[in-house]
Amino acid sequence: ILSDAERERRTLLTHAGRKKGFTLGRVALRTLLGDKMGIPPREVPLHIEPSGQLICPGSGYKLSLAHSGDKAIAAISPRTIGVDLEEIRPKPPSLLDYILAEEERDHVYGLDIPDSHRLFLCWTLKEAVLKGMGVGLRSAPRSVTLNVDMAEGKALVTDPKGRLWNARFALSGPWISALAF
């Protein structure tokens, strides 16, 4: 299913989990697009923009892809979207303060969620929006502010230009995924 360029890129990855995640992500994305476009997944024309954003010329779809370890998630839509996936793992508590804007700190620290999950929930929501904007982590995560509804599994997110994004998130074992649109 992978293109020659993707197979070559995969050989450059040395970590087995990253190699598997890359492969799973591209297979998922190519399968989704191939199904919608009515062509075999291998024939899906995926290209990487200079910004690093994946595009499928002529498809009419916006794409987003994320991988973490040996897991991957992909989404396509006629609307602008972004996805992220993270495995919850030990990180310094100070990292949360680094990614939070001052105006969202009280809200985030008030969420009914284990401290170990708080960082990764915020990170996935923020990165999904930044990916949807086409800037990824070239823009600071604290430039995006969150209003999270834990009970509904959703968030309203404000980007640096003041635009509002809707986001959905899921917690599944040690994994958190987010879709922003």
- What is the SS3 assignment for the chain? CCCHHHHHHHHHCCCHHHHHHHHHHHHHHHHHHHHHHCCCHHHCCCEECCCCCEECCCCCCEEEEEEECCEEEEEEECCCCEEEEEECCCCCCHHHHHHCCHHHHHHHHCCCCCHHHHHHHHHHHHHHHHHHCCCHHHCCHHHCEEEEECCCCEEEEECCCCCEEEEEEEEECCEEEEEEC
Compute the Cα dihedral for 20, 34, 87, 104 and give only its sign: positive
Mean pLDDT along residues 122-129: 96
Q: Is the pLDDT of residue 136 over 80?
A: no
Please write the tens of the pLDDT for every residue from 76-92.
999 999 999 999 999 99
- Calculate the average pLDDT of the chain: 92
Please write the tens of the pLDDT for every residue from 29-78.
999 999 999 999 999 999 988 877 889 999 999 999 998 877 889 999 99
d(C-alpha 42, C-alpha 142), whole Å: 38
Q: What is the pLDDT of residue 122?
A: 96
**Residue tagged 């897991």 (tokens):** 71
**Residue tagged 């284990």 (tokens):** 114
Please write the tens of the pLDDT for every residue from 138-166.
678 899 999 999 999 999 999 999 999 99
Q: What is the pLDDT of residue 171?
A: 92
pTM: 0.90
Locate 62 and state its tokens.
């916006």
